[in-house]
Amino acid sequence: MKLLTGNNLKTGDVVWWTGSDWSRHIAEAADVDGHGEAIAAAEEAARRVNAPYVIDGEATPTGPRPGHIKDRIRAAGPTVRPDLNIKPADPTAGGWVI
Amino acid sequence: MYKYDEFDQSIVDTRVAEFRDQVARRLAGEISEDQFKPLRLMNGLYLQLHAYMLRVAVPYGTLSSRQMRMLAHIARKYDRDYGHFTTRQNIQYNWIKLEDAPDILADLASVEMHAIQTSGNCIRNTTSDQFAGAAADEVTDPRPWAELLRQWSTFHPEFSYLPRKFKIAIVAAEEDRAAIKLHDIGLQLYNNDAGELGFRVFVGGGMGRTPMVAPVIREFLPTGDFLSYLEACLRVYNRYGRRDNIYKARIKILVHELGAAEYARQVEEEWAHVKTLGLDPPPGEFERIAAQFALPAFETGIADTVDRSDPDFAVWLDQNVKAHKQPGYAIVNISLKPVGGIPGDASSAQIDLMADLAETYSFDELRVTHAQNIVLPHVKKADLYTIWQKLVAADLASANLDLISDIIACPGLDYCSLANARSIPVAQKIAKRFEGLDRQRDLGELKLKISGCINACGHHHAGHIGILGVDRKGTENYQLLLGGSGAEDASLGRITGPGFDEDGVVDAIERAIEKYRTLRTDGERFLDTYRRVGMDPFKEAIYG
């Protein structure tokens, strides 16, 4: 699957395209198939996202998982500060990244 | 410490107002990201892995308590309650909101700080000896010259768009505590045989993908010619440095390709002209700056001994406290490398505490070190035990300065969008493996440095043991290097062989260190043994 990600222009937060909006939670990310670049261009022009790009991901029972560790760390947060992660109480978060 | 005059303050305040307008225009859609990006970078604002990252300049690593408290305030109010001290003596915040950035810069300006020229192809923050003004072995305080450099390089119109970024470091002792030979320009103040003070000038060092130790291009430069000569060095680079290839754009490539002698000849030729332009400040101006770095009002006739009866305190004293030029005083190194911690990170509460300690016990002064620690430069020996107790309570009393757990590590893939692998977890595992202080002290000075990519922000080339994180088909892999040094005996580490996974590199380091223990002679550091016996015995121990 293809996922579209970027950063919120004002806050810098990592965000994922859900099909109709942006979410901080990758579990809500949608498969953008071949439309990622067009969506990115429109959303960037509307100043709803900064530096968007399309990545490869895989569908898993718990939701989309980016193919590269860099994007998994972006999705979850720094592996060395679980207290700052998007789901700080989730004990499985570290395993999901690595 | 240097105090802003009306011009300094006006420059910084004007820049804050300008950036506030630029941010407003970006958020209103009047300028695109392509237009805005170079503007935010000129103010130290990057877009990193998780958010915007702000890099704040700490000129030559010197801070007042008031400035340090402002750094804590920014961490608390605008970020996530901590900051990261860097190998360039700066501080970075990892979770900044664009909409807050102008207010942060305004807060910094209120204490004579800024983020100007912490990015971009310009002259970056000048770094220096963290013991400057206090060190028993220095010939003079190098910071007045560093401040002169700051004023000369700030918004220098000719050098705002160099082929690539440009880093200058300056020391005034034989012991190099600022890695000057691994900078674009390294300056060493010393007295020549005639007793005159001047600079030994090194040009063309650096790390990154093409590491080089800088050659000397001028053995002695009179202090009065300081700025005009540097202007000539930069002019030659600005004219002939390569702009066609980012990987060959640093001055080290130019010096290497021309040869040090030819580069030096071109500089001398340019200097003959530059000298006539009146760039060197009159002695009175230098004296005005130097007066602001006058020694504090040290007490005289005070006790020069310390009660060592508390054994834990005695260990900290031996490891983290260094000789001061003034009898009765000492230099305190506060390690930001607790076992299990993140090298260089400090919470806002810890930053506040260090500011309080400086205000009460160190003439209101602190230093940031390129090894990502903090220094209280002027502490009465009689106060050392009290300070240590307060540091213990704040988890800031790790007695590991220059030991294997005093690891330099870049933010790596946990924070940095350029990184290929994580650095911090490797540092944590190594620190944990060698946790026992007795074992660490038995190994002696051992500088271990980790970078998460070839850009070498973690100085892996200069580590007695260096680690470089790479991406091998989407998996983190770690190359091991031995034999580097960023000190006066500067050298570049050599790769041992095939890389390792995260746990494998920790095991490999342990095998190398056990080998060292069997090979060392009395008083020999790991680096000394490596230099004596070469790579082969270590390679055999590591790979079997």
Chain B neighbors of A66, CB-CB under 8 A: none
Shortest distance between the Cα of B274 and any Cα of chain A, in A, equals: 44
Q: CB of B476 within 8 Å of any CB in chain A? A: yes
Reduced to 3 states (helix: H, G, I; strand: E, B; else coil), residue B82 is strand
What secondary structure letter does DSSP report for B133? T
Q: CB of B425 within 8 Å of any CB in chain A? A: yes
Chain B neighbors of A95, CB-CB under 8 A: none
Name the packing angle between helices B65-78 and B348-361 (round to 10°). 170
Please state, for a pLDDT cut of 70, what percent of chain B lies above it: 100
What secondary structure letter does DSSP report for B335? -
> What distance lies between CA B146 and its chain's CA centroid?
14
Confirm if A78 and B414 have CB atoms less than 8 A apart: yes
Please state, for a pLDDT cut of 90, what percent of chain B lies above it: 99
Beta-carbon separation of A12 and B97 below 8 A:
yes
**Alpha-carbon span B211 to A48, nearest angstrom:** 41
pLDDT digits (tens, 9 = 90+) for B252-304: 999 999 999 999 999 999 999 999 999 999 999 999 999 999 999 999 999 99
Q: In what order do the strands lie in the sheet with B475-482?
A: B408-409, B448-451, B465-472, B475-482, B494-495
Instruction: Name the residue facing A10 among B33, B97, B475 (closest C-beta).
Output: B97
From A90-94, B174-178, B199-203, B492-496, the region with the lowest mean pLDDT? A90-94
The dotted CATH code for B142-291 is 3.30.413.10
Pairs of residues, one from chain A and one from chain B, whose beta carbons lie less than 8 Å apart: 68
Can you give the pLDDT at residue A90?
83
pLDDT digits (tens, 9 = 90+) for B519-531: 999 999 999 999 9
Residues, chain A: 98
**Alpha-carbon span B482 to B492, nearest angstrom:** 8
Can you give the pLDDT at residue B411?
98
Among B181, B140, B172, B132, which Cα is nearest to B487's? B181
Chain B neighbors of A74, CB-CB under 8 A: 49-50
How is chain B split into domains, by residue range? 6-109, 142-291, 311-393, 408-543
pLDDT digits (tens, 9 = 90+) for B448-462: 999 999 999 999 999
Name the band, by pLDDT with cuts 50, 70 and 90, for residue A94.
confident
What secondary structure letter does DSSP report for A96? H
Can you give the pLDDT at residue A98?
87
How does the average pLDDT of chain B come out, rounded?
Answer: 97
Instruction: Name the residue facing B424 among A12, A74, A80 (closest C-beta).
Output: A80
pLDDT digits (tens, 9 = 90+) for A7-65: 999 999 999 999 999 999 999 999 999 999 999 999 999 999 999 999 999 999 989 99
Homologous superfamily, domain B408-543: Sulfite Reductase Hemoprotein, domain 1 (3.30.413.10)
Name the band, by pLDDT with cuts 50, 70 and 90, for residue B439.
very high
| Nearest Cα residue in chain B from A9 | B98
Q: Is the pLDDT of residue A92 over 90?
A: no
What's the alpha-carbon Rg for chain B, to the nearest Å?
Answer: 23
Can you give the pLDDT at residue A87?
84
Secondary-structure class of domain B6-109 per CATH: alpha beta
- Region for B40 from its dihedrals, namely left if φ exceeds 0, alpha if ψ lies in -120 to 50, beta otherwise: alpha
Instruction: Name the residue facing A47 among B29, B52, B414 (closest C-beta).
Output: B29
How is chain A split into domains, by residue range? 2-97
What secondary structure letter does DSSP report for B343? T
**Alpha-carbon span A75 to A77, nearest angstrom:** 6
**Alpha-carbon span B217 to B227, nearest angstrom:** 16
First to last CA, chain B: 54
pLDDT digits (tens, 9 = 90+) for B141-173: 999 999 999 999 999 999 999 999 999 999 999
Name the band, by pLDDT with cuts 50, 70 and 90, for residue A91.
confident
| Fold agreement (B142-291, B408-543) | yes
Can you give the pLDDT at residue A95?
84
Q: CB of B501 within 8 Å of any CB in chain A? A: no
**Alpha-carbon span B169 to B490, nearest angstrom:** 14
Q: CB of B450 within 8 Å of any CB in chain A? A: no
- Region for B266 from its dihedrals, namely left if φ exceeds 0, alpha if ψ lies in -120 to 50, beta otherwise: alpha
Can you give the pLDDT at residue B83?
98
Cut 0.80: pTM above it: yes
Can you give the pLDDT at residue A89?
80
Chain A neighbors of B340, CB-CB under 8 A: none
